[in-house]
Chain A
Amino acid sequence: MFKYIVKRIAYALLTLLVLTALTFFMMRLLPGDPFIGEKAIPETTLKALNAKYGLNQPIYVQLWMYMKNVLQGDLGLSIHYNRPVNDIIAQAFPYSFDLGMRALVFATVMGILLGIVAAVKRGTKWDTITMLIAIIGVSVPGFIIGAILQYFLGLKLFQATGIRFFPITGWNSFASKLLPSFALSFGSLATISRLMRTSMLDVLGQDYIKTAKSKGLSQKKIIWKHAVRNAIMPIITVLGPIAAAVLTGAFVVENIFSIPGMGKFFVLSIQTQDYTMISGTTLFYGAFLVIANLIVDIAYGFIDPRVKIADAKE
């Protein structure tokens, strides 16, 4: 188990290192210049600016400086806002995190429940409905779902009834958080319910379920004590990628619903070619997801003893 954890951590660190170097070089390869603006900047000012941001040093020195700063948790100064990137992230990330967690929790809980229902009531209309939701969820991008929800539940429902059930934009009251969270969670909900159904059907066909049945256990006990516990394993492994999908999906959902989260800053920094802001945000997201994956991997090692055995054999 110890070896397994060390290995996972080593991979996570290596991935972060590669990501940092990659972001750095990508940013340097970018066409254009962060100081290009409406007004031409005098030669001396340009030199001073380049010196201030360290852009006049050889590239390996810049990389070294960059890595050193990142390791100390300093992501640099946003060129566009002239504010530390750390500050901007600290201000915007809580919104994104709030939105992301709501979506993630909703998707996981609902996805698992739908998957269980579909598997237990296989072949009935429940099964069909769940699979319909699942297939629509993976086929309709989140920004379309967001816009449709906004139009029908935000605008049309208000026009029809005169009562504002769901505010169209914003992130302050509970009601205003419902639509964006749902729009963001839909795709992941579909993936999870589909996976859960497959996994559940697999487990329900196992011999130990037959044994439990022949012992005379109730259906409820068989499903919750024996089937679900085993069927939930594959869900844990996809939580990492699902978290990634939710976080990147938040870019567009935040834009649609005007939520002042990281997504807005990220999209804006692409348009303004704000080097440090882009690399800082990318790195932050990358690190966040690598760590999320690491936690999932380690948790999986603790929950499923088979991982330990496979590791020992290796």
Chain B
Amino acid sequence: MSVIEKSQFEWVGANATEAEKISRPNTSYWRDAMHRLSKNKPAMVCLFVIIFIALLSIFVPVLSPYTISEQHLTHSDQSMFFTDPIDGHMHIFGTDSLGRDIFTRTWSGGRVSLFIAFSAVFINFIIGVIYGGISGYLGGSVDNIMMRIIEIINGIPYLIIVVLLMMVIPPGAMTMVIAYAAVGWTGMARLVRGQIMSLKQQDYVIAAKVMGAKPARIIGKHLLPNTLSIVIVDLTLAIPSAIFTEAFLSYIGLGVPVPMASWGILANDGSRVFQMYPSQLIIPAICISLTMLSFNLLGDGLRDALDPKLRR
């Protein structure tokens, strides 16, 4: 074993400019997170799938030669890629028992299902953040009462409340949103409250308080932005649950009214003729599952990207 002599080393001296130099470009938290997300292949694939489904849902109903309620009784229950002998248009996904074009109905249903999911989750977000924010920031007996209310709402299975609400309010896409949002916000409120409770003990919040910041500023400027990452992940994971609820309600006969289509309604219609024309159930089933899967995986990806410590 060779001995390392002191003379082998040379003192190069302290270089003040070199030491202070930032050798890497600085990034913000969000840019860093986006960079990590873009490295996550499954999450990126899912993001593209979601964008693809959303684009189809937006444009197909507009561009399609058929409408959702147009019936072609001469060629009902046709298989996929059936070409209409009269006008030469192709029914890409075939036709249903009333001869309606399933391709148009599927993407128009996508519109309804995605609209319900996004609006419901958006309302959950608003109510949850405000409720959780107030409860967490004020603490004490206010917090206690507000949390007890949530506990009681959570004690009742949410699907039962949704079913009850759906029966009272006249049917429609907005009704679904209201019914889901009426019980769906509690999870978000709990999450925000927990975050705010731990954040308000942090030194920088106390510093802001000492400098005379008003509660509104502390909540808006310091507390909420720091809960955002967890909230975004939760929102992404709440969308599949909203899509599921829509499908479930449509399936038990509490869906949007005819002739409107939604993925749940299509699955319900398809399941009646499943043994003879399986494609009529499989198409909406794939749409529902693929969308839920994509949002779930994207949510996981976002969680890893936004909080690397939680990564497993």
Take A29-B168, A270-B253 as given contacts and tell me if A141 and B157 are in contact as well, using a CB distance cutoff of 8 Å.
no
Identify the stretch in B158-166, B200-208, B215-223 within 8 Å (CB) of chain A at 4 or more residues.
B158-166
Is there a chain A Cβ closer than 8 Å to B259's Cβ?
no
Chain A interfacial residues counted at CB < 8 A: 46
B170:A31 contact, CB within 8 angstroms: yes
Q: Is B151 an interface residue (CB 8 A)?
A: yes
Q: A138-B240, A155-B275 are in contact. Are A248 and B157 (CB under 8 A)?
A: yes
Q: Is the CB of B164 within 8 A of A256?
A: no
On whether the beta carbons of A282 and B164 are closer than 8 Å, the reply is yes
Please pick, from B240, B247, B252, the residue contacting A270 in the complex, using a CB distance under 8 A.
B252
User: Do B156 and A141 touch (CB < 8 A)?
Assistant: no
Cβ contacts under 8 Å, B271 to chain A: 143, 147, 256
For the complex, what is the distance from the CA of A155 to the CA of B281, rounded to whole Å?
Answer: 15
- The smallest beta-carbon distance between B286 and chain A, in angstroms, is 9
Q: How far is A188 from B155 in the complex, measured between Cα atoms in Å?
A: 19
Stretch at the interface among B29-37, B71-79, B84-92, B289-297: B289-297
- Size class of the contact patch on chain B: 35 or more
A236 interface residue per 8 A CB criterion: no
Chain A residue with Cβ nearest B241: A138
By beta carbon, the residue of chain A nearest B252 is A267
The reply to whether the CB of B48 lies closer than 8 angstroms to some CB of chain A is: no
Q: With A248-B160, A252-B251 as given contacts, are A12 and B155 in contact (CB-CB < 8 Å)?
A: yes
Q: Is A22 in the interface zone, CB < 8 Å from B? A: yes
Which chain A positions have C-beta within 8 A of B258? none
A289 located at the interface, meaning its Cβ lies under 8 Å from any Cβ of chain B in the complex: yes
Residues of B near A197 (CB, < 8 A) are 312
Check B289–A144 contact: CB distance below 8 A: yes
Please give, as numbers and ranges, the residues of chain B lying within 8 Å of A252 by CB-CB distance. 248, 251-252
Q: Of the listed stretches A13-21, A37-45, A93-101, A298-306, name the one at the interface; the rest are far from the partner chain.
A: A13-21
A22 contact from B157, B164, B247, B293, Cβ within 8 A: B164
Footprint of A on B, CB under 8 Å? 148, 151-152, 155-157, 159-161, 163-165, 167-168, 170, 240, 244, 247-248, 251-254, 267, 271, 274-275, 278, 281, 285, 288-289, 292-293, 296-297, 312
Binding site for B on A (CB under 8 A): 11-12, 14-15, 18-19, 22-23, 26, 29-31, 135-136, 138-141, 143-144, 147-148, 150-151, 155, 197-198, 201, 244, 247-248, 251-252, 255-256, 267, 270-271, 273, 278, 282, 285-286, 289-290, 293
